[in-house]
Chain A
Amino acid sequence: MLRLTNISHRFGGLEVLRNVEFSVAEGELLGLIGPNGAGKTTLFNVITGFVRPGAGRIFFQDRDVTGYPTHRLARLGLVRTFQGARSFHNLSVEDCLRVARYRRVGDSERDRELERVVRLLDLEEFATEAASSLPAGLARLLGIAMALSTGARLLLLDEPAAGLSAGETDVLQQSIRRLQQAGVTVVVVDHNLHFLMNLVSRAIVLDAGRLIADGPPATVTAEPRVIEAYIGGRDLAGD
């Protein structure tokens, strides 16, 4: 589905990504973890066309999409969400979703598809509400619903659980599982290890721009390099 080869990127003298290589299989639910400043968000930006990588290539569904603008990638089915609750605050929930499903199918088909998205994420009751009036957990779901409405085949979720209560996190977890069951490939970035480890079947770990581990969550979190980078080691050594 998605394949990255030798991706490197620097901001001035700072090398934020170094030879990152991995691939995501169709239907997979993958976690991307790493301490602050590991390059997770930059990697997301590179994959979704917000940042053009300094080196390396990106393949989406066997097509070289390196350097494609974001909106074109979205139309191909590669869509991301953002940290926090971003939505179009002057539009209703329904209209936010319609914008996302803009012009790619006929009206009646679009309404059917949007209904499916709304049901999948339990947003039925809020369809006519203003997007700005939703509480945090629902706003996060709206973000995912908008991304899904585009007809996404691969969703990249950027810290979807940050700042949510335990109850809201549970709802979010169930929603993400349902996405995967509906046939969407999902990559989730999060700081909340507990949230991710209960959710994904495979995790990759990024530290200082390098990929340092790749495998089932239990194996990955047991690796000494990961423990050093993420949990113990340097971060706490100074204290």
Chain B
Amino acid sequence: MTGEVSSARAPAADVPGRQSRLAASMLLALAGWLVLALLLSVPVVYHSRYIVYLGTLLALQAALAVSLNIVLGFAGQFALSQSAFFGFGAYASALLIRDLDVGFWTSLPLTALLTSVLAVAVGYPAMRFTGGIHLALITFAFGELLRLVTANLHELTGGPQGMQLVYTPGVVLGVDFGSTRGLYCLATGFLLLCLLISILVRRSDFGRALFAIRDDETLATSLGIDVTAHKVAAFTLASTLAALAGAIYAVFTSFISPEMMNASDSIALVGMLIVGGLGTTPGPILGTLIFVGLPEFLRVAKNYRLVLLGIIIVVMALYSPKGIAGAVNRLMTGTRRSGA
């Protein structure tokens, strides 16, 4: 404590240290982007259907984690409806295409529009009067409700047996997005879009306000920030991106079922963020690689995966509350402040 006080009192002596810290974190960020580029190029170089398939799945899963990070990591709002909106997006897009005869690409903005209306309708009452555990319960209940409704609307959705989809995105600008590789490009492009949005949000006034809300809602209100509007906006953005991921997932697998909306998937996403680093930029991607990628490569049976992940979450929560991204950052840049 005394060390912190004296360093705060004598910032001039601290400047060289701060500069090297800044340089280290920039190098780290650069290394991170290089690794990501390398990972994303593997399925393009490798001529294996399996690798391309896995890459597409991981990209979509990572996009879900990146978008959840905006509401859970930045704004600190415990929303458990990410997979419900993922499924909603898949069904919305599929039904628009099947019943209203719109094309795949047209269905995307329409799905986004429908989802944002739904997200505001769910998010506003949940975040206006309550927060914390109540929000978790309300979003959890909403997700389950959506899943049951989808499973019971047999005529529209095909019920629990799901829907077989017969459409493909087709050829755009010379790229066949219906092919395995084209779908991989679509999923990767969407992941990069989510990352870009998340980085822009983080650097904007809006993003700073979200971090402020996470730290102290009352103080944020007292400084003129409309806390409810910000929380609902973050929730709506995250849910809309999840729905778009769902629409792409639908065309990728050609089959959707109410199981896409399973709440356990939403909870697993929260786990990915905790392991990777809540609120950090690389966190959601690291978490996805460990949660989904690693077990796939190690061929661990699905049941053991959850045991393994449970252990990882407990260890991370105890020893590195900021996840892997936080731990790496601390090691590389030598930042010792636990709170910063």
Q: Which A residues are within 8 Å of any B CB, using their own CB?
A: 48, 50, 69-72, 74-75, 79-82, 86-91, 95-96, 98-100, 102-104, 125-126, 128-130, 132-135, 138, 146-147, 149-150
Contact = CB atoms under 8 A, between A and B. Distances in A.
Contacts of A70: 221-222
B315 interface: no
A104 B205 CA distance: 11
B8 A90 contact: no
B16 interface: no
Nearest to B12: A125
B224 A75 contact: yes
A74 B224 CA distance: 5
Interface in B274-292: 279
Contacts of B7: 133
A133 B4 contact: yes
B222 A99 contact: no
B225 A102 contact: yes
Residue of B212, B218, B222, B225 with highest tally of chain A CB at under 10 A: B222
A129 B11 contact: yes
A140 B70 CA distance: 30
A226 B176 CA distance: 84
Interface of B: 4-5, 7-9, 11-12, 18, 205, 208-209, 211-212, 214-216, 218-227, 279, 337, 339-340
Given A71-B223, A87-B215, A98-B205, 20 more contacts: A50-B218, A69-B221, A71-B226, A72-B224, A74-B221, A79-B222, A81-B222, A87-B219, A88-B211, A88-B216, A90-B214, A91-B215, A95-B208, A96-B212, A99-B225, A125-B11, A130-B337, A130-B340, A133-B337, A150-B223
Contacts of B209: 99, 102
A216 B214 CA distance: 42
Contacts of A130: 337, 339-340
Contacts of B225: 71, 99, 102
Given A133-B8, A138-B8, A90 B205 contact: no
A97 B212 CA distance: 11
When A and B form their complex, which 6 residue pairs have the shortest distance between CB atoms, in order from nearest?
A: A74-B224, A130-B340, A132-B339, A88-B215, A100-B223, A99-B212
A48 B11 contact: no
B223 A79 contact: yes
A100 B5 CA distance: 25
Contact of B339 (A81, A82, A90): A90
29 contacts: A50-B218, A69-B221, A70-B221, A71-B223, A71-B225, A71-B226, A74-B223, A75-B224, A80-B222, A86-B219, A87-B215, A88-B219, A88-B220, A89-B339, A90-B211, A90-B339, A95-B208, A96-B212, A98-B205, A99-B211, A125-B11, A125-B12, A128-B18, A132-B337, A132-B340, A133-B4, A146-B219, A146-B223, A147-B222
Nearest to A138: B8
A238 B7 CA distance: 48
A79 B224 contact: yes
A16 to B, nearest CB: 19
Contacts of B220: 88, 99
Residue of B218, B221, B223 with highest tally of chain A CB at under 10 A: B223
Given A90-B215, A133-B337, A99 B11 contact: no
A225 to B, nearest CB: 33
A147 B211 CA distance: 17
B208 A99 contact: yes
Nearest to A92: B340
A40 to B, nearest CB: 17
Contacts of A74: 221-224
A69 B225 CA distance: 11
B340 A90 contact: yes
A80 B218 CA distance: 11
A147 B225 CA distance: 12
Contacts of A95: 208, 211
A91 B227 contact: no
A103 B205 contact: yes
B11 A126 contact: yes
A90 to B, nearest CB: 5
Nearest to B2: A135
Contacts of B12: 125
A128 B22 CA distance: 12
Nearest to B11: A125
Contacts of B212: 88, 91, 96, 99
B211 A91 contact: yes
Nearest to B338: A132
Residue of A70, A72, A126 with highest tally of chain B CB at under 10 A: A70
A160 B212 CA distance: 21
Contact of B208 (A81, A89, A102): A102
Contacts of A132: 337, 339-340
A82 B11 contact: no
A152 to B, nearest CB: 9
Contacts of B337: 130, 132-133
